Amino acid sequence: MDALALEAKNTNGGEAEKKSAPRPRPKPPKKAKRIVYFEVEILDSKTKEKLLLLDKVEPTATVLDIKALFHKSNPKWYPARQSLRLDPKAKCLRDEEVLQTLPVGTTASFYFSDLGAQVTWGTVFLTECAGPLLIYLMFYFRLPFIYAPKYDFTSSKHWVVHLACMCHSFHYIKRILETLFVHRISHGTMPLRNIFKNCGYYWCFAAWMAYYINHPLYTTPYYGEQQVKAALYLFLFCQVGNFSIHVALRNLKTPGSKVRKIPYPTKNPFTWIFALVSCPNYTYELGSWIGFTVMTQCLPVAFFTAVAFVQMTVWARGKHRSYLKEFRDYPTLRSSILPFIL
């Protein structure tokens, strides 16, 4: 009995000690991190005049957010029209750049310049492609006031002329459909004045080419049907290749994303040229116009192809340099537009 009583006493005593043991003090709540706000001033890039002072700007604000705040006080300068730089001679800041990641202190100065009235890239592409399509057809159907009155609304006797019209129309209809359904354009707008420059380039060349190809005195290619068929095969091959590259580039981007990735060959054989060239869409485009030049054996077409090659080379080399700068693991074997050459 004594042993049992002693055990019960010890047990009850242990429980009492547990009940009377002091509870651990709760941890004090963590202090909220102090947000360091920025003070942003926007200056005119030419006169250095202060246009706006923004107080208590959050560090996570993007350049686009700052443009939106500037737009509220100056409605005529909508965000797409604004160019903000950290230095008047520096590059324009991208909309997605974050304020706290920029090389500025808590007081940041941005230099503003007006880019002028803007128009969407899609509108520019559609306009510059629809023009050549319609202009070429005007010459093909020989509307009045183009050639002599006796040729009004007549058709050419050469089958290569009709084939050239189909190829030219196919090219620009393809470009229009790609603009509407394939391309994901990362740049929102461009200056309105560019639409006149771009359209002038494409429209004038289309009229010049169409005038000679559809002229009543047009002469067929020197090597006849063999030359035309070989050129047609090259044209169609490059058109399919160009479309394949555009689809591959589209698949690299998710809707609304501006993150760039390195393009690589896919299962589509037309994309295997990515192993050698950074901008194979320009390579295929060049091949298409070479085919069209050989098919028509027309000097204005050859001149247009040469000018287009120079322009596309400039674009391709610029994009190739940006790839090398942005991606350390970018394939070194690639050229910009022509494998192992350029």
What pLDDT was estimated at residue 187? 67
242/279 Cα distance (integer angstroms): 10
pLDDT digits 0-9 by tens, 234-285 = 999 999 999 999 999 999 887 766 678 899 999 999 999 999 999 999 999 9
Q: Is the pLDDT of residue 34 over 80?
A: no
Question: Span 3-27, mean pLDDT?
Answer: 54
Three-state secondary structure along 192-242? CHHHHHHHHHHHHHHHHHHHHHCCCCCCCCCCHHHHHHHHHHHHHHHHHHH
Nearest by Cα to 300 from 205, 223, 161 = 205
> Can you give the pLDDT at residue 4?
45
pLDDT, position 142: 97
CA-CA-CA-CA torsion sign (205, 211, 217, 222): positive
If pLDDT is split at 50, 70 and 90, which confidence band does 37 have? confident
What is the predicted pLDDT for the residue at 242?
98
Please give the pLDDT value at position 189. Answer: 81
pLDDT in the model for residue 238 = 98
Cβ(270)–Cβ(205) under 8 Å? no
pTM, two decimal places: 0.81
Give the tens place of pLDDT for each residue, 119-169: 888 888 899 999 999 999 999 999 999 999 999 999 999 999 999 999 999
Tens of pLDDT along 283-329?
A: 999 999 999 999 999 999 999 999 999 999 999 999 999 999 999 99
User: What residue has token string 């054989």?
Assistant: 269
Cα–Cα distances (Å) from 77 to 51, 73, 99, 119, 296, in that order, read 12, 9, 21, 14, 48
Over residues 68-92, the pLDDT tens digits come to 999 998 888 888 888 999 988 888 8
Cα separation, 39 vs 43, whole angstroms? 13
What whole-number distance in Å separates Cα of residue 195 and Cα of residue 243? 24
Tokens of 231: 């050129």
Q: Note the pLDDT tens digit of each residue in 43-65.
A: 998 888 999 888 888 888 899 99
Under 8 Å CB-to-CB from 152, ≥6 apart: which residues? 142, 143, 144
Nearest to 36 by CA among 66, 62, 56, 63: 56
**Is a pLDDT exceeding 60 seen at residue 2?**
no
Distance CA 199, CA 172 (A): 13
Instruction: Please tell me the number of Cα atoms within 13 Å of 195 on its side-chain side.
Output: 18
Q: What contacts 224, CB < 8 A, 6 or more positions away?
A: none
Res 15 pLDDT > 60: no
Average per-residue pLDDT in the chain? 88
